[in-house]
């Protein structure tokens, strides 16, 4: 993709990683916009450091898992997924200086368990939230480039803003 952008002479591209994640202290169905990706240098295998008790690598006790989740939650981490760190590194190290954004929807609160219990139809609806938000952002950017509309966007920095964004995204989608 980076090479394609280069040969197409695209200036200042923004790449998006959209997907799902596990919430830490927040329930399923919430949008999370990652401000920074955090890795653990002592964990060489992706996903091994998530404290999961149901994965292929299960070196944790339940007490270890909750100690770990409480610790990272206290540090301000509210979600966990494997792809963000590699995505951020790719964008950061690209010669083109690519801006990147990671926008995920939580499928569950890891403080309550590791298994997704929401119905499949609910999960499918939730997975549309990041797509709707990015579609709205792209529309605003195109309107701003054309001189139409305000083009004003903003960063989401709190849980109350996340809930508001989700509600706004739902209203936006229903008006289309």
Please state, for a pLDDT cut of 90, what percent of the chain lies above it.
Answer: 35
CA 115, chain centre distance (Å): 19
Q: Please, what is the average pLDDT of the chain?
A: 80
Rounded average pLDDT over 145-156: 54
Whole-prediction pTM: 0.74
pLDDT at 27: 95
Domains in the chain: ranges and CATH? 12-175 (3.40.50.1580)
- CB burial class (10 A; 0-12, 13-18, 19+) of residue 23? buried
pLDDT at 125: 96
118 phi and psi angles, rounded to 5 deg? -65, 145
Q: How far apart are the first and last CA of the chain?
A: 30
The answer, yes or no, to whether residue 114 has pLDDT greater than 90, is no
The answer, yes or no, to whether residue 17 has pLDDT greater than 90, is yes
DSSP string over 111-164: TT-SS--S-HHHHHHHHHHHHHHHHHHHHHHHHHHHT-S--------SHHHHHH
Please state, for a pLDDT cut of 70, what percent of the chain lies above it.
Answer: 72
Identify the residue with better confidence: 99 or 56. Answer: 99
């Amino acid at each position: 993709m980076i090479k394609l952008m280069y040969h197409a002479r695209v200036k200042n591209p923004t790449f998006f990683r959209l997907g799902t994640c596990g919430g830490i202290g927040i329930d399923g169905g919430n949008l999370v916009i990652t401000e920074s990706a955090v890795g653990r240098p002592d964990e060489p295998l992706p996903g091994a450091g998530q404290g999961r008790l149901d994965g292929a690598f299960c070196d944790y006790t339940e007490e270890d898992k909750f100690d770990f989740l409480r610790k990272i939650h206290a540090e301000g981490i509210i979600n966990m997924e494997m792809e963000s760190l590699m995505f951020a590194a790719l964008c950061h190290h690209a010669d083109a200086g690519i801006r990147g954004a990671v926008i995920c929807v939580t499928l569950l609160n890891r403080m309550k368990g590791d298994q997704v219990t929401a119905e499949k139809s609910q999960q499918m609806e939730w997975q549309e939230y990041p797509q709707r938000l990015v579609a709205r952002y792209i529309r605003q950017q195109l309107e701003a480039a054309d001189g139409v509309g305000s083009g004003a966007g903003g960063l989401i920095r709190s849980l109350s803003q996340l809930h508001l964004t989700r509600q706004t995204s739902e209203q936006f989608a229903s008006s289309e």
